[in-house]
Amino acid sequence: MTDIIDDLAWRGLIAVSTDLDDLRKALDAGPVTFYAGFDPTAAGLHIGNLVLLLTMRRLQLAGHRPIGLVGGATGLIGDPSGKSAERVLNEREVVADWVRKIELEVSRILPGAIYVSNLDWTAPLTAIDFLRDIGKYFPVSQMLGREVVKARLQQGGITYTEFSYQILQANDFLELHLRHGCTLQLGGSDQWGNLVSGVDLIRRAAGESVHALAIPLITKPDGTKYGKSEGDAVCISADLTSPYSFYQFFVNRTDAEAPGLLRVFTFRSRQEIEDLERKIADRPAARAAQRVLAEDITTLVHGAAETAKVIAASQALFGQGELADLDERTLADALAEVPRATVRVADGADLPPVAELMLECGIVPSKSAGRRAIGEGGAYLNNVKVTDVEAVPDQASLLHGRYLVLRRGKRTVGCIEVVPRR
């Protein structure tokens, strides 16, 4: 069996560790209890968080014991890591609702794990207890030396609220060490200062040695993060990112991105991934690697049945399946990804001609261009070729009573949503 540290290293999932050789020995010696935390700073987790969750799952499959911590307390404060300004603090009721949602998301990826909220041990702390029992272990000079603190001081300052975040996270590690025998904390590489604070606290307060392992932040080719703070979050909740959009995100990755994403987001073996890398080089147009990547990760997050619907919709949208066979939600999710327009039609009135509808949804630049596409045999309505330049859809053509799918050529797809005129 492949050594778990070697596997994580090959997949590019190790940024830095307190002592990688000692950690390897601990993992080889027997089950290690480990944890990672997820702050409820939004209504759901994104694929940046998913990297950490999948790393936890790899350790779990190797025989180790995961604890999924949701920051019911730290989510009320806000981690300054990676932020150039103070976070906006959310209301307690909002954070509590997000905690419940994130716990459900974590449990889908880590079945059988222990789940905790740090509010359980942080809420009972008085200010005096916090200062006397925890704060005394934190030299201010060391706290000021953390990269995130130094960066914020250079950018205009940091409040005591966010300055104290590293103490709260360190205390989480101590509590889990005392309660559950936890000896390893995982986190993103931007969390390294917080991770080390926990290791230091346990050494000072309990006189014991524990481990921290930081996971690299995955980035796009332009260097920006795949994450919620970049304005184009891909979330693992179907309520925030549809399964169709989730699948399309991964299937549309470039050849340069695919090998690294296969290592991070799938549980394919090294041989399988290297075979897919060769297929990228030999037949890039087939996009075999991207299809495997998208199917594997969508199945893991949303399940096999939902993934099958998504693939069917993806194929049907471009003429390789029956649009009428798609359920309304899956079709609506797919059509949300293409150019679209809304057309209001009075009861009993005719729909506009196909050429005009092609213009309305933006797949041709003019009505005459639409008529020309029809005349040249390159126009389709619900995947059926349109042969009459004056063709007008009837009400029976509406998918689920409201949608028309128009296509020019093989790849240019648009949607018309027909609604009643009041």
In terms of domains, do 17 and 53 share one?
yes
Is 237 part of any domain?
no
Residue identified by tokens 């060391």 is 142
According to the model, what pLDDT value does residue 65 have?
97
Domain with residue 190: its CATH number is 3.40.50.620
pLDDT at 227 over 60: no
Is 236 part of any domain?
no
Domain with residue 405: its CATH number is 3.10.290.10
In terms of domains, do 63 and 212 share one?
yes
227, 51 contact by CB (below 8 A): no
Is 153 part of any domain?
yes
Q: How much is the average pLDDT of 66-89? A: 82
pLDDT at 85 over 70: no
In terms of domains, do 316 and 342 share one?
no
Phi, psi of 179 (to 5 degrees): -85, -40
Is 134 part of any domain?
yes
Domain with residue 308: its CATH number is 1.10.240.10
0.75 exceeded by pTM: yes
Amino acid at 271: Q
According to the model, what pLDDT value does residue 366 have?
96
pLDDT bracket for residue 82 (50, 70, 90)? low
In terms of domains, do 403 and 369 share one?
yes
Q: At a CB cut-off of 8 Å and minimum separation 6, what does 247 contact?
A: 294, 295, 298, 307, 310, 311, 314
Strands 65-70 and 184-188: unpaired
* Rounded-to-integer distance, Cα 39 and Cα 260, Å: 26
In terms of domains, do 41 and 175 share one?
yes
Mean pLDDT of the chain: 92
DSSP 298-311: HHHHH-HHHHHHHH
Is 356 part of any domain?
yes
Tens-digit pLDDT profile for residues 262-294 = 999 999 999 999 999 999 999 999 999 999 999
In terms of domains, do 42 and 102 share one?
yes
Is 332 part of any domain?
no
pLDDT at 230 over 50: no
The domain total for the chain is 3
pLDDT bracket for residue 333 (50, 70, 90)? very high
In terms of domains, do 266 and 380 share one?
no
Strands 184-188 and 211-215: parallel
Q: Which domain holds residue 112?
A: 4-217
* Rg, the chain, Cα only: 26
Q: Which of 327, 357, 379 is the last residue of a domain?
A: 327
